[in-house]
Structure 1
Amino acid sequence: MQLAKDVIAADMIVTGKYLEEALQSPVGMVDRITRYLGSTRGKQLRPVFSLLCARLGGALNSVSYRAAAMVEILHTASLVHDDIVDNSAKRRNAWSINALWKSRAAVFTGDYLFIKAVQLPLLNGDYKTLQIFSQAIEQTISGELVQLGKTQKLNFSETTYYDIIRQKTATLLRAACEAGAASTFSDEQLVTNMGLFGEYVGMAFQIKDDLFDYGSSDVGKPLGNDIQEKKMTLPLIYTLNHCDAATRKQLLKIIKAGEVTEGAMDFIRTTVEEAGGFQYAIEKMLLYRQQALDILNTFPDSPVRAALEALVEYTTERKY
């Protein structure tokens, strides 16, 4: 991660200025909230990917910076709305918008950020960027709705799981990489390839996130949260489809209860481990990672490619 940020350190500063300018508001409350969000910003993985993909094609330009700023605004908007849906008071040890300003203000903040994100390319004539991200927004929202429906029915299909995480997570990272590449590459096939690269990384990233749910350390969200919300993640799907009837019945009883005690979580963790669910999920994660690296390997060796490779490795080896 550090290598990637070092390569584009100056570019991240420029992107930050684009972000600040895009989110400026004469409305006092809006300005206070957006400034607060800026002070609690996380790793900014998506703009880093976007800028590096753009650099792979040549010198950066204003379209590149706006694309990177746009994906960060969109991601922030989605987090604000997620915290409302999940009734989360904190994210990464910082107070959420709904905790500080209540849910009504948080809803409007998320909406405001979405509009600002769309206006950024629209008002500057970056129509390719707008096209890429508008499709991603549609897919992301569709993925959330599909997951909601499947959660209510406790769907155990591995194919459905991949479809959901592709829409919910991988689509936005794909858009970040594709929009970045589109700002500098002239070959449309290479732009498409970089979008696919982003999708593969996004799939690996989400599987890694799902594995955190079974851990024992603080990763910024309650452990067992996915299970408590009846979200079927890959380790559990694999286990439910490969364990005996009695074990399956016990697992389903815990999931349907809606509350996961420490003892129940220990049982789930042990059962998934013994069934090979963790190992299976890790193998799938590494497969997606390798597919992403295979695309990078079609480009000549360079500091930018090395930074992207290191960033891909980071997404599957991170501790939170």
Structure 2
Amino acid sequence: MLSINEIKRPIAADIDAFESTFKTSMQSSVPLLDRITHYIVKRKGKQIRPMFVFFSASLCGGITQATHRGAALVELLHTATLVHDDVVDNSYQRRGFFSINALWKNKIAVLVGDYLLSKGLLLSIDNHDFNLLKIVSEAVKQMSEGELLQVEKVRRMDIDEPVYYEVIRQKTASLIAACCACGAASAGADEVTIEKMRLFGEKIGIAFQIKDDMFDFGTDDVGKPLGIDIKEKKVTLPLIYALKHCEASQKKHIINLVKNHNEDAKKIAEVVKFVNETGGLQYAETQMKKYQDEAFEILNTFTPGDARTGLEQLVRFTTERNK
């Protein structure tokens, strides 16, 4: 598999320029805010979402200044949601570094998230990018609804497969869908093309989340702690499938372990073993590939070229990764 640097080579100059734009868009006259945003910028990830914006724009007419602003908007709002998520989840680490709430406490973390959200809104309003703002705002609304739907279902432990797909479509896939739609819109694409790219991104987002959920039941060397979803009582696709294909008594036993013994390492290991032996991982892999193939079917309706190849490589990177 190609590395992320090899994949982004056709848009490397645009990504470099974007990083400068993104850094500038976070600036503040408040020294504390500047220190925190500098900390955030230094620890940014692989820039997967901006890459989806740039490749989508390139595929649909060409990268413009609006594309750069769209990528910054997506990343500002995405970063804001991550900062808030760490507060909600009482998480003190992100990508191996201390989270904002771990270093500066919850109150400041919430305010920083609000600040990033407002900067994203102003970036679009000041430049009259109302179409981009509408796309991303819809995604943020869906992300919030997905989180709340998951919280509601986790409490009752009644997540079935259709509910699982609805949760991940809203929580994860909606933002990647927005990236692809923003890229197309920034390039001046028509509404039909924008919707096609949104659907492409949604399918990739679903495949991406299924892959991420699979790591919970794999080996413990993939970057995500083994059994972390079980500890948080999250019922994901591998577990849903396994619970559907076992005896009633075993199902009751496993649900009891997830609900009442989710801090016990031995009990977590028992759940992981159960999922593997019942075929949960294999089923999730099949479903992940189904969504990936559906995304490729959409992508293949576009003219071949560097942009289409770049998107295909980026899709494979996000869905076939080992961590």
Query: Could you say which TM-score interval applies, normalised by the shorter chain?
Result: over 0.9
Q: Is the 8 A contact 1:143 1:168 kept in 2?
A: yes
1:117 aligns with 2:120: yes
The separation in 2 between residues aligned to 1:218 and 1:117, in whole angstroms, is: 36
Q: Which portions of structure 1, spanning 4 or more consecutive aligned residues, are displaced by more than 2 angstroms?
A: 1-4, 215-223, 258-262
Q: In the alignment, which residue of structure 2 is the partner of 1:315?
A: 318
The alignment status of 1:158 with 2:156, answered yes or no, reads: no
Identity %: 47
* 3-state SS, counterpart of residue 217 of structure 2: coil
Q: Which deviates the most, 171-180 or 57-66?
A: 57-66
Q: TM-score, normalised by structure 1?
A: 0.97
Aligned to 2:111: 108
Q: What CA distance in whole angstroms lies between the structure 2 residues aligned with 1:50 and 1:259?
A: 39
Superposition pairs for residues 294-313 of structure 1, below 5 Å? 294-313=297-316
Match of 2:66 among 63, 68, 81: 63
2:234 counterpart letter in structure 1: K
Structure 1 residue 179 displacement after superposition: 0.7
* Aligned residue in 2 for 1:87: 90
CA distance in 2, matches of 1:167, 1:143: 5
Alignment of 1:225-264 (within 5 A): 225-264=228-267
Q: Which of 28, 32, 35 matches 1:25?
A: 28
Q: Distance in 2 between matches of 1:223 and 1:95?
A: 20
Conserved 8 A contact 2:215-2:224: no
CA offsets per residue over residues 254-275 of structure 1, 9 Å max, x none? 1111533222222112211121
Q: Name the residue aligned to 1:171.
A: 174
Query: Retained in 1: the 8 A contact 2:57–2:183?
Result: yes
Cα gap change, 1:220/1:110 in structure 2, threshold over 3 Å: closer, same or farther? Answer: farther
What SS does the aligned partner of 2:21 have? helix
Given that 1:156 and 1:232 are in contact with CA atoms closer than 8 Å, whether structure 2 keeps it comes out as yes
Equivalent AA in structure 2 for residue 2 of structure 1: N
Conservation of the 8 A alpha-carbon contact between 1:224 and 1:265: yes
Task: Tell me if 1:206 matches 2:209.
Answer: yes
The answer to whether the 8 Å contact 2:233/2:262 transfers is: no
Q: Is the 8 A contact 1:54 1:180 kept in 2?
A: yes
For the Cα contact (< 8 Å) 1:97–1:106, is it kept in 2? yes
Q: Which position in structure 2 is the counterpart of 1:78?
A: 81
Tell me if structure 2 keeps the 8 A contact 1:93–1:220: no
Does the aligned pair in 2 maintain the 1:74–1:114 contact within 8 Å?
yes
Q: CA deviation at 1:299?
A: 1.1
Task: Name the SS for the 1:8 alignment partner.
Answer: helix
Q: Which amino acid aligns with 2:186?
A: S
Instruction: Name structure 2 gaps, 5 residues minimum.
Output: none
Asked whether the equivalents of residues 49 and 308 of structure 1 are also in contact (C-alpha less than 8 Å), the reply is yes
Q: Does 1:96 align with 2:99?
A: yes
Matched residue of 2:8: which SS? helix
Q: Classify 1:237/1:203 alpha carbon distance in 2 versus 1 (closer, same or farther; 3 Å).
A: same
Asked whether the 8 Å contact 1:296–1:305 carries over to 2, the reply is yes
Is 1:12 equivalent to 2:22 in the alignment?
A: no
Corresponding position of 2:269? 266
TM-score (norm 2): 0.96
- SS for the counterpart of 2:111 is helix
Contact 2:200 2:298 in 1 (8 A): yes
Q: Are the aligned partners of 1:226 and 1:232 in contact in 2 as well (CA < 8 Å)?
A: yes
Structure 1: give runs of 5+ residues left out of the alignment: none
